[in-house]
Amino acid sequence: MPHLARRLFALPQDLEGAAQSWLEHGERTPRAARLASSVVLLRDSPTGLETWLAYRPGSSPLGVLAFPGGSLDAADDDPVPWLGPSPQHWAEQMGTDDVGLARRHVLGAIRELFEETGLLLAGPDMAGTVEATSTPEWMRARVAVAEQEKTFPEILAKRGLSVRTDLLKSLVNWRSPDFAHRRFDTRYFAATVPLNQQPTLLEGKGVWGRWVNAADVIAERHTTALGDEVGQENTVGRTLGELLVPGSEIMLEKMAAANGCIAYLSYKRKAHVYQPVLVEEDGKLMLEVEAAKTTADDPQRER
């Protein structure tokens, strides 16, 4: 059983005002959190596990750099042909009694992954997945879903496809801090890239996205290398902790320590909620998160 430890993370710049206000005016009822799903894409490389990170324009509660994902929408409740583990199974995996909610999160994860990367966890049956989703026709379908001109179930129905929920693995639940003005309650899943598919940025929306080596990113966490490469006003000169939410940083640590995709995906996880708490440490406001230590010498404080 992994040892849980209290971890300290830097408070993102765009949350400083909300944190100060929360302290000055006393704790209030937190704003309602929007439900979201996110997918951690994985692939093996000669130098370790790689994952897909992308830039999010604006100030996203899921981080300036994040795994593909976003808010659930109304169409995630629509009927859709479903292959793989049942919504009941997913509810158990996610530690919730709400089967409908679990179903929405799973469908939202598959939809968001399709919108943001073009990867489609769907096929005509359990034996196969769609191939070559990088065509102009598929890009038009992605844009239509992103712009809410068509629903994701409509896109699937037109092509006789069913979602392949067996291609997802439940990871963790991240909740935005109570004091944040915009809050998300996000369920994270993991997936590998289906055969003959490649992630691409959404036309007209994507700014930067690429495969990153988890071990390299963690090794350079105290430098501004990744933020400088992204090259946006709110990434240049920032370290990893200023670009990601702590939950994403912890997941990257675990990927960096994992011995490949199969080992990472087959690890038995219990449903866990990352709930950051505002604390003052040496006169500085920080976020405290309860998380498993990745290695024996894992530092408890991340600057």
Task: For 194-276, list the strands marked E by DSSP.
Answer: 209-213, 273-274
Residue owning tokens 């990113």 = 217
Nearest to 122 by CA among 84, 171, 177, 71: 84
Residue among 138, 129, 176, 173 at smallest CA distance from 158: 138
Residue-wise pLDDT for 154-198, tens only, equals: 999 999 999 999 999 999 999 999 999 899 999 999 999 999 999
Task: Answer positive or negative: Cα dihedral of 45, 241, 295, 4.
Answer: negative
- At 298 the pLDDT is 38
- Read off the pTM: 0.93
Position 3 scores a pLDDT of 67
Strand pairing partners for 279?
286
pLDDT of residue 4: 74
Whether residue 301 has pLDDT greater than 50? no
Do the Cβ atoms of 32 and 183 come closer than 8 Å?
Answer: yes
> Residue 24's pLDDT is what?
86
pLDDT average, residue stretch 39-57: 96
